[in-house]
Amino acid sequence: MAIASNSRLLIAVGAVFVLLILAAAAFVITSRGGGEAPVGGEATGTTTPPQATGEETTTPAAYETTTSVATTEQARPISVLVLFDVGGRGDLSFNDMAALGADRAAEELGVDVVFQTPQSLAVMESVLDAASRSGEYDLIVLVGFLWQEPLEKVAPRYPEQKYALIDAATRERYDNVASYLFREQEVASLVGIIAADIANNISKATGEEAKAGAVAGMDIPPLWRFHIGYLYGVQYYNQAMGTDVEMVWTYTGRFDDPTLGKTTAEQMLQQGVRVFYGVAGLTHVGMFNAVKEAAARGVIAFSIGQDASQEWYDPQTIIISGLKRVDVAVYTAIKDVVEGRFRGGIVSLGLKEGGLGLSDEEIIRYFAEIAAETGQLPEGLTPEKVVEIVMSQREKWISNDGWRLVEELKQKIISGEIKFVTPQDHDTYDSIIEELKAGNLEAALES
């Protein structure tokens, strides 16, 4: 029962990842295709739509208001509305990360925060329009790419209303919209070092060849950036340690197929891959299951998650996760409004800005606690037990040299010594990968 329940939850997590990746790809290649309509989110709170002061030809469907935090002595505190995507709070991914950042802003900056979740894609524009028309909010935070198209329609109608769009960007610039994007190569390069180190240590223990791999989704620009960063990290480790860890990157062509993810990972296991990075949304949930089953058969193998902390799903084999710090993006957006520094345009977040990172004890515990509260944590585990198991596995399989190189590369990126290129076409991407395979690390960097 626990496994089935957890699978459903990670399916939701994976679905969010899939949609975000596809939207980012669509943005990068400047496609103007419409978004797909996901199903509605889970309703857990009171139904209280915002007041509409003008004519309304479309009646917004019901949506929920889940939380309100007000702690300030000001006569009129800064008021923030956080609009989750349809997954809502409790998704153990982007929405919960957003709530974490908003809660921090309420506590540290004394702002009032209201959370709402639309119940379907169909009502998102009308919900956003009504909230904007109300004039109640100094800032409206929109979590995820599903808000991109509704925002592009609504933002021009309310030029005085400030918006923060998280992990997506409008296709045209608006002075009242700040779009927060992430530099994926940076976190993937740190993951590459970790994966190479674990593969090398498994090789020492078993005598097998050292192979790290990745189960990826579709061959699209956001995944090119993950690929470049990951391979860069593996090769950075090889050159620093004098090793020859091989990297196997496999596109499945799907973000929504855990069965395909599992069979792909099983084939890679047969090829000797022992460390797997999941960048395929729902598809890489199947990868998690393949690695877990292999470990049960006595194979030493590990998985690495992406975006949110995913260790709680199986802490024995999911040893670390790359993070997109949506909480940092939300907190930064609110703080900019509080301090009068809000500006429209793109805000790029990477390691330097704290917008990316690797999962630590605090974030592992945070997501394990949510999993426990929602009945999703596997039987026999507690949040503390999850942290204990993960830290024990890291102590055993990630060396001090591995951590040293992670910190070294991280500081080079933060200082600006290393800046990754962003390929604009497939030929350039292919060329960079071939150069990296040949050991030319400079090929992945800006000159």
Q: What angle do CA 433, 299, 6 make, to 5 degrees?
A: 85
307 is in an annotated binding site: yes
Angstrom CA distances, 63 to 37, 117, 132, 292, stand at: 16, 6, 16, 38
Closest to 142 in 3D by CA, of 103, 175, 170, 172: 170
Which residue has 């703080």 as its token pair? 335
257 is in an annotated binding site: no
What six digits make up the tokens of 133? 């028309």
324 is in an annotated binding site: yes
427 is in an annotated binding site: no
Amino acid (1-letter code) at residue 27 = F
85 is in an annotated binding site: yes
The strand order across the sheet containing 162-166 reads: 46-47, 63-69, 112-118, 79-83, 139-143, 162-166, 177-182, 345-349
Give me the helices (H) in 306-352, please: 326-338
Give me the helices (H) in 310-360, please: 326-338
What six digits make up the tokens of 272? 């000797």
Other CB atoms within a 10 A radius of the CB of residue 32 amount to 8
Closest to 339 in 3D by CA, of 162, 212, 92, 198: 162
Q: Evaluate whether 183 touches 356 at the Cβ level (below 8 Å).
A: yes
Which residues have CB under 8 Å from 293's CB, separation 6+?
A: none
Phi-psi region of 23 (alpha: psi -120 to 50; beta: other; left: phi over 0): alpha
281 is in an annotated binding site: yes
Binding-site positions read 85, 95, 167, 255, 281, 307, 324
Binding-site positions for adenosine read 85, 95, 167, 255, 281, 307, 324
